[in-house]
């Protein structure tokens, strides 16, 4: 069974980035569940804006995973990723080329698309103890109610991971 897993950090007031896309507010800490989570997945998917942001960090960090970037714009030449233009077709076709544990990296619009299609299995949000006041919200353009069940919480220093199962 293919599992789409959202694993993302947000401010306490629900933002994943500043209005300009900056994530400079994210602390650099070794206290997190990231390494364990990353080892559990075999595929990453992300939107074009997230992909462009990731590239500003230097070398592409997910070279050891199958990677898909969803975009409606011109595609770069990048041997590390496969560009996809149609979320619905990708889902309808059974996630062609993807593995079984897929990390939906972001952003908010792409997360909303996968939620709308009913294929998100779990949402793991790491809450960072900061209030940004404004920015890019974690959930954007949610068109229908999605019920969640809290299955686990984990504390890592000042961070809290909230693990929610998406109810069908």
pLDDT for the residue 57 = 84
pLDDT for the residue 107 = 86
The CATH architecture that domain 3-166 belongs to is 3-Layer(aba) Sandwich (3.40)
Query: Residue 110: which H helix or E strand, with range?
Result: helix 108-116
- What residues contact 43, with CB distance under 8 A and at least 6 apart? 65, 66, 67, 68, 95, 98, 99, 101, 102, 103
Instruction: Tell which residue, 111, 102, 104, has the closest CA to residue 14.
Output: 111
pLDDT, block means (10 residues), the chain with 168 residues: 94 94 85 89 95 89 95 81 93 94 93 94 96 94 91 94 95
pTM: 0.91
Instruction: Tell which residue, 166, 167, 157, has the closest CA to residue 127.
Output: 157
> In angstroms, rounded to a whole number, what is the distance separating the alpha carbons of residues 166 and 168?
6
**pLDDT, tens digit, for every residue of 92-136?**
999 999 999 999 998 888 999 999 999 999 999 999 999 999 999
Instruction: Tell which residue, 42, 12, 7, has the closest CA to residue 25.
Output: 12
pLDDT for the residue 7 = 96
Q: How many other C-beta atoms can be found within 10 angstroms of the C-beta atom of residue 135?
A: 20
pLDDT for the residue 27 = 87
């Amino acid at each position: 069974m293919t599992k789409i897993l959202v694993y993302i950090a947000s401010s306490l007031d629900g933002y994943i980035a500043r209005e300009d896309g900056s994530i400079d507010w994210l602390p650099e800490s070794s206290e997190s569940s990231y390494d364990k989570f990353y080892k559990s997945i075999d595929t990453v998917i992300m939107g074009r804006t997230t992909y462009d942001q990731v590239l500003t960090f230097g070398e592409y960090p997910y070279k050891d995973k199958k990677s898909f970037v969803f975009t409606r714009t011109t595609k770069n030449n990048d041997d590390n990723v496969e560009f996809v233009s149609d979320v619905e077709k990708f889902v309808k076709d059974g996630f062609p080329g993807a593995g079984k544990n897929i990390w939906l990296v972001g952003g908010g619009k792409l997360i909303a698309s996968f939620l709308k299609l009913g294929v998100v299995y779990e949402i793991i949000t790491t809450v960072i103890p900061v209030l940004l006041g404004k920015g890019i919200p974690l959930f954007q353009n949610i068109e229908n109610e999605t019920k969640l069940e809290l299955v686990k919480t984990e504390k890592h220093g000042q961070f809290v991971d909230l693990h929610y199962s998406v109810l069908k």
